[in-house]
Structure 1
């Protein structure tokens, strides 16, 4: 019996890696040799966003935020804590809506912070408003 493999995009070089399920936390990139992803949120921009969302098999929880938003700033440490608790079953990422206006418009982000879970390139869940780490984890686990 063979274990199922997952495709995971490297946070460092964006190479697509085939990783045996259950070994995500220890996997290193075949191209750049760095750890594929850490238990911290990954900052995404334009092309990196699309590559992570469409090419990887892991669900990705994205925090659409603004650096000038008070609730976003308060939720930042909570989101980082949630990343530790959801690792390696789910990757957490952040998108600065003021810098990435095209992505924000594409997903009709009208308020920040807004959390969106993507799986297999599709949005599967959305939650507007600031949340605590336990609430983020509880909400996200429904979709992992």
Structure 2
């Protein structure tokens, strides 16, 4: 399966397994098991979403948004549970207004799950860890 390195954004082809003890990027040698959400910009958004064989969950947010501030630690916490199962990413809509407009972001936070490069689900509003995990689990193979 193809996965995008969260550090250098190079596409890596790795065998599909139920769990991994080690998986490193062939380019930068950093761990592909790092679950820290990556920041996406207009320049790399399509590359990451299209080249990932695992679902990509994107949090569209802004620094001035109260619900976004409440959601951020939940998003980071839940991301730790899914190494090489889900790729977590964030888009700052204040900095990436063209990208937010392109994807029709009308309220934030908005979570979009992309599967096989196509939008599969969109949910607006802050969520707790249980709700976010349930949403994600419905997209795991």
TM-score interval, normalised by the smaller of the two chains: over 0.9
Give, in whole Å, the separation in 2 of the partners of 1:53 and 1:112. Answer: 20
1:18 alignment counterpart: 13
Q: Which moved more, 1:119-128 or 1:29-38?
A: 29-38
Task: Let me know the Cα RMSD of the aligned residues.
Answer: 1.4
**Matched-pair contact (CA < 8 Å) for 1:10–1:37:** no
Superposition deviation, residue 47 in structure 1: 2.0
**Matched-pair contact (CA < 8 Å) for 1:25–1:88:** no
1:84 alignment counterpart: 80
TM-score normalised by length of structure 1: 0.91
Gaps of 5+ in 2: none
1:118 alignment counterpart: 114
Give, in whole Å, the separation in 2 of the partners of 1:63 and 1:25. Answer: 27
Pick aligned residue for 1:54 from 50, 55, 62 = 50
Q: Which moved more, 1:22-31 or 1:33-42?
A: 22-31
Superposition deviation, residue 24 in structure 1: 5.3
- Number of positions where the alignment pairs a residue of Structure 1 with one of Structure 2: 139
TM-score normalised by length of structure 2: 0.92
Gaps of 5+ in 1: 1-5
Greater share of helix: 1
Residue 66, structure 1, aligned to residue 65, structure 2:
no
